[in-house]
């Protein structure tokens, strides 16, 4: 009797379990990525970066204290190569011991480099470091002083054993922008930024009401992009190698999936400071827009005669060349306008196309840009000090950019108080995005861990180039 009572009590339980089994047996199977997303969600157990990222992304401090880290490149093996710099931009502080080039490797898979080796020129050998670095045919190419050199990597080492070979020498140094970032395409064409020596080619640089040199002879050897052949050695800087002109300071390069070449442009400074009758104080902070331009051989992008006015949405004549505060276009009608624009004085220092599949699909058609941040928005709040994503289509912006990574600067966004400033970007073979900092020499590694299934993607749009300057920062007013 007890047996039958037990059976009667168990039958409903069994029926319920059977129903549950049948209801789940015919559901579509979950993919491994779905399972990971559901179980891990947005957890980042090893995230010690302090960065603000979109949901599903995590960051670690890959390396720290390696010197004033500028641009990077990642080898197919996953070794991260960094060029570091020194000099007046960093208060002429003592450079890091050893070579200015750094090789970083994570052998344990912990998201942090456990191999840190230096090579290249040292202070003792006359080196000062540099910004530009790249990889082509398995060799490392790096800027060093007035040269770009090639290091051959042996099979059993992450650093070279032999002396470098000079690819091009005699690159102009000095002035406001002495760095030489570059990019090498699949055929070996090496595009080198030879930035301007001045702010706006005035007869007296950065001086009240000083007119612009006419013609601006500086453009013969500065303010543009030069092209060389990465397959050849011992080339010399020459005006015949100029590829495009009118680019004040083009530090970040990227090549899209169709082979189109893009470069960032740092807009000019001091419109109100040097031309107070033509520009209001807040226009010092809101003009001109920062740019990404599509490079074309023989193209003229306007500097120093023109700047891009984000409010008027066009290139306008600079005051040094007869401009009247943004009303007159003049010769700027014949210059090439930008492909994308951003708020003034954010300082785009690096750019990279995401060519892997680990990040969500929305990040595969566009570029990441590292904004170093500037000083020329003062006494209004500074901007930039972040990494943004700009979608592109057919060579132009296809939507508003979004702030992808923020929090580098810490409590204060200013050149002298920021904890860290984004300076370089690189994509690893595993889909990681690396960000360098040239204040304290930190390298960040950002990965995608997956979000919660069904959750809508939340993004933080960039401020419009027409956003107001904001309230005056009283702390910056002496």
Burial-class residue 278 by CB neighbours within 10 Å (0-12, 13-18, 19+). Answer: middle
From first to last of its 478 residues, the chain has per-residue pLDDT tens of 443 343 444 444 444 433 433 333 333 332 233 223 323 345 787 788 999 999 999 999 999 999 999 999 999 999 999 999 999 999 999 999 999 999 999 999 999 999 999 999 999 999 999 999 999 999 999 999 999 999 999 998 999 999 999 999 999 999 999 999 999 999 999 999 999 999 999 999 999 999 999 999 999 999 999 999 999 999 999 999 999 999 999 999 999 999 999 999 999 999 999 999 999 999 999 999 999 999 999 999 999 999 999 999 999 999 999 999 999 999 999 999 999 999 999 999 999 999 999 999 999 999 999 999 999 999 999 999 999 999 999 999 999 999 999 999 999 999 999 999 999 999 999 999 999 999 999 999 999 998 755 556 789 999 999 999 999 976 554 4
pLDDT score at 456: 60
Q: Which phi and psi (to 5°) does residue 178 adopt? A: -90, 0
Sign of the Cα torsion 276, 277, 278, 280 reads positive
Q: Which phi and psi (to 5°) does residue 9 adopt? A: -75, -30
Return d(Cα 245, Cα 460) in angstroms, integer: 34
Residue appearing with tokens 């013609």: 215
Return d(Cα 320, Cα 317) in angstroms, integer: 8
pLDDT score at 458: 85
Q: Minimal CA–CA distance to 221: which of 194, 202, 200?
A: 194
Residue appearing with tokens 């954010």: 346
Residue appearing with tokens 């749009």: 461
What pTM was estimated for this model as a whole?
Answer: 0.90
Q: Which phi and psi (to 5°) does residue 387 adopt? A: -120, 130
Listing DSSP states for 96-142 in one string gives PSS-SEEEEE-SSSSSS-SEEEEES--TTTT--B-S-EEEETTEEEE
Query: Residue 68 corresponds to which tokens in the numbers above?
Result: 């004033």
Burial-class residue 163 by CB neighbours within 10 Å (0-12, 13-18, 19+). Answer: exposed
Count of CB atoms within 10 A of residue 438's CB? 23
The β-bridge relationship of strands 165-169 and 235-236 is parallel
Return d(Cα 60, Cα 45) in angstroms, integer: 10
Contact 449, 42 (CB under 8 A): yes
Q: Minimal CA–CA distance to 307: which of 194, 196, 208, 469?
A: 196
Residue 33: alpha-carbon gap to chain centroid: 29
Sheet holding 235-236, edge to edge: 133-136, 139-144, 147-152, 165-169, 235-236
Alpha helices in 222-340 (DSSP H): 271-274, 283-286
pLDDT score at 457: 72
Return d(Cα 312, Cα 172) in angstroms, integer: 35
Contact 1, 8 (CB under 8 A): no
Query: Residue 283 corresponds to which tokens in the numbers above?
Result: 């226009």
pLDDT score at 45: 79
Coil/strand/helix, residue 56 = coil
Angle at 335 between CA 331 and CA 339, to 5 degrees: 145
Collect all residues with Cβ–Cβ distance below 8 Å to 194 and sequence separation of at least 6. Answer: 171, 172, 180, 221, 222, 223, 224, 225, 226, 237
Collect all residues with Cβ–Cβ distance below 8 Å to 97 and sequence separation of at least 6. Answer: 118
Q: Minimal CA–CA distance to 121: which of 92, 96, 156?
A: 96
pLDDT score at 37: 32
């Amino acid at each position: 009797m007890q047996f039958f009572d037990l059976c009667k009590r168990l039958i409903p339980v069994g029926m319920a379990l059977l129903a549950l089994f049948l209801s789940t047996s015919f559901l579509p199977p979950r993919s491994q990525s779905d399972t990971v997303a559901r179980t891990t969600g947005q957890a980042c157990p090893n995230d010690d970066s302090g960065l603000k990222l979109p949901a599903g992304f995590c960051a670690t401090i890959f390396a720290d204290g390696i010197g004033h880290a500028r641009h990077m490149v990642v080898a197919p093996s996953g070794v991260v190569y960094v060029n570091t710099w020194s000099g007046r931009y960093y208060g002429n502080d003592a450079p890091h011991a050893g070579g200015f080039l750094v090789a970083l490797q994570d052998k344990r898979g912990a998201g942090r480099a456990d191999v840190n080796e230096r090579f290249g020129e040292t202070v003792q050998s006359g080196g000062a470091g540099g910004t530009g670095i790249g990889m082509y045919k398995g060799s490392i190419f790096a800027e060093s002083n007035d040269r770009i050199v090639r290091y051959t990597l042996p099979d059993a080492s992450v650093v070279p054993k032999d002396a470098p070979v000079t690819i091009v020498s005699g690159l102009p140094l000095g002035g406001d922008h002495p760095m030489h970032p570059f990019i090498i395409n699949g055929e070996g064409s090496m595009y080198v930024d030879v930035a301007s020596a001045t702010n706006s080619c005035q007869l007296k640089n950065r001086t009240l009401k000083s007119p612009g040199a006419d013609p601006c002879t500086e453009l013969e050897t500065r303010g543009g992009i030069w092209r060389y052949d990465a397959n050849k050695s011992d080339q010399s800087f020459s005006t015949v190698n100029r590829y495009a002109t009118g680019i004040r300071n083009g530090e970040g390069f990227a090549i899209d999936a169709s082979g189109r070449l893009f470069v960032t442009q740092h807009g000019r400074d001091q419109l109100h400071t040097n031309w107070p009758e033509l520009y209001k104080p807040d226009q010092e902070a809101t003009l001109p827009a920062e740019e990404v331009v599509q490079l074309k051989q023989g193209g003229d992008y306007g500097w120093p005669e023109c700047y891009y006015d984000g409010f008027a949405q066009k290139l306008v004549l600079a005051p040094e060349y007869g401009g009247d505060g943004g009303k007159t276009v003049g010769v700027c009608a014949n210059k090439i306008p930008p492909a994308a624009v951003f708020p003034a004085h954010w300082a785009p220092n690096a750019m990279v196309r995401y060519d892997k599949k680990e990040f969500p699909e929305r990040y595969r058609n566009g570029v990441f840009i590292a904004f170093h941040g500037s000083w020329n928005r003062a006494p209004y709040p500074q901007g930039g000090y972040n990494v943004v994503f700009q979608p592109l289509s057919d060579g132009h912006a296809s939507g508003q950019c979004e702030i992808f990574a923020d929090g580098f600067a810490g409590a204060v966004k200013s050149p002298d108080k920021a904890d860290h400033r984004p300076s370089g970007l690189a994509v690893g073979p595993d889909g990681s995005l690396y960000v360098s900092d040239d204040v304290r020499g930190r390298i960040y590694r950002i990965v995608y861990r997956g979000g919660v299934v069904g959750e809508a993607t939340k993004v933080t749009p960039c401020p419009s180039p027409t956003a107001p300057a904001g309230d005056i920062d009283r702390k910056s007013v002496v």
